[in-house]
Amino acid sequence: MMWMVVRDAILALAVAPYIYYLIAILAAERFFRAESVGSRRPASDFTPPVSILKPIHGLDRETYENYASFCSQEYAEFEILFCVGNERDPAVSVIEKLIADFPQRSIRLLIGSEPLGASDKVNKLCRMVREARHDIVIVSDSDVRVEPGFLRAVVRPFSDPKVGGVTCLYRGLTDGGFAADLEALGNTADFAPGVLVARYLGGLDFMLGAVMATTKKHLTEIGGFESLADYFCDDYELGNRIASRGYRVELSRFPVDIVYPRETIGDAFRHQLRWNLSIRFSRPWGHLGLIFSQGLPWAVLAAVVAPSRLLAVCYLAGYYGCRSWLAVVVGVKGMKDRLVLRKIWMLVPRDAVAFIVWFASFFPQRIHWRDRQFRVRDKRLVPISPRHSL
C-alpha cells in the first residue's frame, strides 16, 4: 500500500514539467507574437544619444568582430567606452585597431579603475558611468555580438517614463564543439523559456548580464553601480532594485549573440554551475523550483515506477514531444536560433547535464571568475586569498 502511494505521488509530480513546458510555450507565443522578431530594425523617432559601456578582461573568441558589431549600429549618436584593468591587457591592441578602423565613431579606451569592491566588472562600470557623456547607458559583456538594429530596439522602450531598464535574451555562436553547443543550446531551449515564464507570470524584476540598459537617473536612485560592487549577481541586483522603485524592466524582442569560446565539458560545466549558483544566491526559492522545470529526470523516474509499459512510454514520449516543441517555439520561431534545429537531438544530453549541474549547485562552492576565486556570503563576493585556496 505504501509503495502504491509513493508511486502515485511520483506519477503525479512528474506531470509538473509538462505543465511548465505548456506555460512556457504560451508565454513565448504571446511574447514573440506582439512584435515579430524578424523585424530587426524597428522604426522609431525616439533616438536619444547613448553610451555603451564594455568592461573588458582579456580576449574572447573573435574579439574584434564582437566589438566591431557595436560600431556598425544604425543609430545617429552614440559612444562606446571600453575599460581594461591595465595597459598590458591583450584587448588593448584590438580596441586601438577598432578606433583606427572606425574613425567616425566616438570610441574611448579607459585604463584602470578604482577598486571599490570585489567585482572587477562593476569597478570598471563605476568609472565608465562617471565618464559617459549620455544619460542612457547600455552595459554589454565583451563576448556579445549584435545586429545593426540593436540600439534602436533596446532604446525604444525608454520613450515610456515608467520603464527603468531593458535587457535582452541571447543565443549562442559556437565553433561547433560539443561542449559549446551543449551550453549554447541551453540559452534558447532552457534559460530563455524560464525568463519568458517569469515575465508572463508577473513581470521581470531582474536583468540579464549580456545586455543591461538603464539611465544615469535610475542608477543614481539606487546608489549607482558603487552599491553593487561587492555583489555576485550584479545583473539581478540592478534589475531588482530598479523594479523595487516602481519602474518596469522590459525584455527586448531583439536577441543578441554570445560568442562561446572553444571549451571542454569541464569548462562548460563550471560555467553552468556558476550560472546556477547565481540563481541560488539571488532567488533561492526560484532555484529550488527549477526541479519542476526539468522533464527528463521526472520522465525517467515515472517510467521506472509506471505500472505499465504503455504508461512508461507515454511519460517518455510526452517529455520529448513537449521539450522539442518548446525548443522550436522559443529557439527557432522566436529567437531565430539556427543552432536549435541543427542540434535538437542534443536536448536530452543537455537536460541530463542541466540536472546534474542543478543538483551540484546545492553544495558549498567556490566561484571561479576569470582568474580569481571567491566565496559568496549574503549575496556578496568574498575573495579567497591564494594561501587559503590550497
Q: Residue range 186-202: average pLDDT?
A: 94
Q: Residue range 28-57: average pLDDT?
A: 79
Tell me the pLDDT band of 11, cut-offs 50, 70 and 90: very high
> What confidence score (pLDDT) does residue 35 get?
58
> What confidence score (pLDDT) does residue 386 get?
53
**Contact criterion met (CB below 8 Å) for 14 and 294:** no
β-pairing, 163-173 vs 106-111, is unpaired
**Contact criterion met (CB below 8 Å) for 169 and 195:** yes
Give the separation between CA 189 and CA 181, rounded to whole angstroms: 12
Collapsing DSSP to helix, strand or coil, 388 comes out as: helix
Type of residue numbered 52? I
Query: pLDDT digits over 116-143, tens only?
Result: 999 999 999 999 999 999 999 999 999 9
> What confidence score (pLDDT) does residue 57 get?
94
Tell me the pLDDT band of 387, cut-offs 50, 70 and 90: very low
Strand spans (E) along 42-160: 50-55, 78-84, 106-111, 136-140, 144-145
Query: pLDDT digits over 239-296, tens only?
Result: 999 999 999 999 999 999 999 998 889 888 888 888 888 888 888 888 999 999 999 9
β-strand partners of 137:
51, 214
> What confidence score (pLDDT) does residue 285 get?
87
DSSP state, 260?
A: P
Q: Residue range 232-245: average pLDDT?
A: 95
At the top level of CATH, the class of 40-271 is: alpha beta
Q: DSSP assignment of 165-226, as one string?
A: EEEEEEEEE--S-HHHHHHHHHIIIIIHHHHHHHHHHH-B-S-BTTEEEEEHHHHHHTTTGG
> What confidence score (pLDDT) does residue 373 get?
79
Minimum mean pLDDT range among 26-40, 43-57, 177-191, 315-329: 26-40
Tell me the pLDDT band of 184, cut-offs 50, 70 and 90: very high
Q: Residue range 337-354: average pLDDT?
A: 94
> What confidence score (pLDDT) does residue 40 get?
45
**Contact criterion met (CB below 8 Å) for 324 and 240:** no
With 0.85 as the threshold, say if the pTM is over it. yes
β-pairing, 211-215 vs 136-140, is antiparallel
Q: Residue range 186-204: average pLDDT?
A: 93
> What confidence score (pLDDT) does residue 375 get?
83
> What confidence score (pLDDT) does residue 41 get?
46
> What confidence score (pLDDT) does residue 390 get?
36
> What confidence score (pLDDT) does residue 263 get?
87
Give the separation between CA 180 and CA 383, rounded to whole angstroms: 28
Type of residue numbered 323? R
The length of the chain is 390
Strand spans (E) along the chain: 50-55, 78-84, 106-111, 136-140, 144-145, 163-173, 211-215, 248-259, 367-369, 372-377, 380-383
Q: Residue range 221-233: average pLDDT?
A: 94
> What confidence score (pLDDT) does residue 3 get?
79
What residue ranges do the domains of the chain occupy?
2-28+284-366, 40-271
Q: Residue range 317-341: average pLDDT?
A: 95
> What confidence score (pLDDT) does residue 277 get?
87
Angle between helix 295-305 and helix 347-360 axes, rounded to 10 deg: 100
**Contact criterion met (CB below 8 Å) for 142 and 229:** no
> What confidence score (pLDDT) does residue 242 get?
97
State what percent of residues in the chain have pLDDT above 90.
77
Give the separation between CA 275 and CA 76, rounded to whole angstroms: 36
Give the separation between CA 161 and CA 252, rounded to whole angstroms: 16
> What confidence score (pLDDT) does residue 370 get?
64
- Percentages helix, strand, coil for the chain (3-state, rounded to 5) are 55, 20, 30
Give how far Cα 293 sits from Cα of 141, 194, 205, 287, Å.
28, 9, 20, 10
Mean pLDDT (the chain) is 91
Cell of 60: 574572447
